[in-house]
Chain A
Amino acid sequence: MTVASLAWHEAFAIDELWEGDFLDLEIDGEPVLVVHLIGGAIKAYQGVCPHQEVMLADGDWDEDTGVLVCGGHRWEFDMSSGVGINPAGCALYEYPTKVDDGVVFVGVPEDGERHYNRCPGS
């Protein structure tokens, strides 16, 4: 995936999302979860669980550990990387992000695909 193939979508002003908090958004028709990690990093992932597509924003979020637990079936994800903790071997699709003049942008590949990983039984 090259940067040139991304469409950058203005998401929100960075002041609107405090460190340790997250926002669920719909960007280019796709559910996206944007996390502002403690320490300042901004990450954007698919907004639905790769297990059975339950909204991740409805899960339990621990801003200190950076772990989000899906409210549907308790799948756990490290939101600093999107990698699944339990089950292991499953990761969230990550969208590129950038902050420009205090505004957060989320990059969506212009490939006509829906951007999310599925791992129901992996």
Chain B
Amino acid sequence: MPALRRSEWYDLARDLNWNLSYVTEDEAFPEVMSNNYGITPNEKWWAWDEPYKVSYREYVHNQYGKDASVYSVNSVIARSRMFEELDPGWKSAIVAHYGAIAVPEYLAGLGESRMGRFGRAAAWRNMALFGTLDETRHGQIQTYFPYTLLDKEPRMDWAHKALHTNEWGAIAARHLFDDMFTANDAVSTAIQLTFTFETGFTNLQFLGMAADAMEVGDLDFGALISSIQTDESRHAQQGEPTVRILVENGYADVAQRLVDHMFWRSWHVFALLTGLSMDYYTPLEHRSHSFKEFMQEWIVKQFLDQFRDFGLEPSWYWESHFLPELDWYHHALHLGVWFWRPTVWWNPDAGVSPAEREWLEEKYPGWNDTFGVYWDTIGDNIRRGEETKTLPETFPMVCNMCQIPVVTPAGFRAGKLESPEPHIHIHEGRQYVFCSEPCKWIFQLNPSRFAGHTSVVDRFLGGEIQPPTIPGALEWMGLSPEEMGQDATNYAWAYEGLEAPGAAAS
């Protein structure tokens, strides 16, 4: 081991900053790769300092230990019947997770690499190197674990496949992550990926879901994602010193705008992924908290504290749009995902048996009157044997920012929106549809960044998807009949509490 303590040599070894003489700053750090937002000369960035320090030797030692531990758990559990005995809803949650997360983790390695080259201080580039290695690990391990489950659940191959398809959820994930890091400059990536997304939201998916996994008995998934989250200590902290430098140089408004933009986008994807998993797919007896409670603890309280630590304020939409959506948005998405279940690669769990509805009503007072009534009708149709009435014949509108179906009518009916209509915006002769005011605002911040993209529905109506039918679109999305989602419990929820299947049929 080194004779010196880390603090005695770390800064000297890390801070390999120098003034450029052979090239200009702009040549070394082009704006498209590293937007300095007007903070020049580059020496002003050299004050960048991360709180949590690690040497390469320590990094390798720690990571070796983590991998040895997690892969051992996987190896032992692979020989058990643990997966077969998991609740079907929980299996859906992890099939959805792997598809939405594994390849984006690998892509995040690109964003980290960009910061590793174009970060504006040596300390930052050093930390981004560890971030690159972390994200490579996360991409690999979250592809490998589902791979070991392929013989038990063939759709685990969507861990690798999903982001390579045009499945609508995959398009939503790609659109978000391209905006956040694959096609973002180093400074904005530090604030939008590491500060906003990782510091704020991934705790929810990785610590919250890890707690649920351990409750459910899914030791494999619980060990995996809690191990992943321990890596965040290093690379998630890249955002904080970057925010600090912007604020100290009088650019708090830039940091605020970058946070506000990505917070909203992150919220919508997490509502889709984590909201459904926590409140509908996780078995009732193992739910530690509701999604809203997790959001209130991890996001509303903790992340808001962090905003304020850096002199930032809650986003302009916090009270008017974000907090109200905690009560209804993911319930509306769940209804839509379940109804359009053939369009997803996992089996949506309705999660509305009598006991589950009681829990939903307790956690979200008024749920029975707002969302329960839809499920009353769906349940009636199932019990009458009219399954076709619970399946789609066309597609919903899709938001041109978050790429998630527009669910404003459900929000309106729940009394949370003033109008059921989407937000329309005309830009250079083209009409864009948005699910919310903040999604429209993000588009208007930088129209040229988003204007060229076409949503699934734009492509459907534009004739790119042939034949222009539901089966044609499903094939275009890469979904074979065997891969299309079905009700996770084969409609058992519709008969719970009744004497026998069909007993309630009228």
Q: Which residues of A contact B (CB under 8 A)?
A: 51-54, 71-75, 86-90, 118-122
Known: A51-B233, A122-B51; 4 extra A-B contacts, CB below 8 A, are A74-B62, A75-B52, A118-B305, A120-B306
B302's partner among A52, A86, A88, A121 (CB-CB below 8 A) is: A52
A54–B207 touching, CB < 8 Å: yes
Chain B contacts with A in 294-335, Cβ cutoff 8 A = 302, 305-306, 309-310
Residues of B within 8 A of A119 (CB): 51
Whole-angstrom CA separation of A72 from B52 in the bound complex:
13
A71–B305 touching, CB < 8 Å: no
B207's partner among A72, A74, A87 (CB-CB below 8 A) is: A72
Q: Which residues of B contact A (CB under 8 A)?
A: 6-7, 51-54, 62, 199, 203, 207, 226, 229-230, 232-233, 236-237, 240-241, 243-244, 302, 305-306, 309-310
Residues of B within 8 A of A71 (CB): 226, 230
B240–A75 touching, CB < 8 Å: no
A-B contact pairs, 25 of them (CB 8 A): A51-B233, A52-B203, A53-B302, A54-B207, A71-B226, A71-B230, A72-B203, A72-B230, A73-B52, A73-B229, A73-B232, A74-B52, A86-B53, A86-B54, A87-B51, A87-B52, A118-B309, A120-B306, A120-B309, A121-B237, A121-B241, A121-B243, A121-B244, A121-B310, A122-B51
A86's partner among B52, B244, B305, B309 (CB-CB below 8 A) is: B52
B233's partner among A53, A75, A118 (CB-CB below 8 A) is: A75
Closest to A122 in B: B51
Whole-angstrom CA separation of A51 from B236 in the bound complex:
12
Residues of A within 8 A of B310 (CB): 121
The smallest beta-carbon distance between A85 and chain B, in angstroms, is 9
Most chain A beta carbons < 10 A, residue from B6, B7, B51: B51
B53–A87 touching, CB < 8 Å: yes
The smallest beta-carbon distance between A43 and chain B, in angstroms, is 23
Closest to A58 in B: B226
B302–A89 touching, CB < 8 Å: no
Minimum-distance CB pairs A-B, first 5 = A73-B233, A121-B240, A87-B51, A74-B233, A87-B52
B240–A120 touching, CB < 8 Å: yes
B302–A73 touching, CB < 8 Å: no
Whole-angstrom CA separation of A72 from B298 in the bound complex:
13
Residues of A within 8 A of B6 (CB): 86
Whole-angstrom CA separation of A87 from B52 in the bound complex:
4
A120–B305 touching, CB < 8 Å: yes
Whole-angstrom CA separation of A73 from B52 in the bound complex:
10
B305–A90 touching, CB < 8 Å: no
B309–A121 touching, CB < 8 Å: yes
A88–B7 touching, CB < 8 Å: yes
The smallest beta-carbon distance between A119 and chain B, in angstroms, is 8
Closest to B233 in A: A73
Whole-angstrom CA separation of A88 from B237 in the bound complex:
14
A121–B306 touching, CB < 8 Å: yes
B51–A89 touching, CB < 8 Å: yes
Most chain A beta carbons < 10 A, residue from B52, B62, B243: B52
Residues of B within 8 A of A51 (CB): 233
The smallest beta-carbon distance between B439 and chain A, in angstroms, is 28
The smallest beta-carbon distance between A70 and chain B, in angstroms, is 8
B51–A74 touching, CB < 8 Å: no
Whole-angstrom CA separation of A72 from B244 in the bound complex:
23
Whole-angstrom CA separation of A86 from B50 in the bound complex:
11
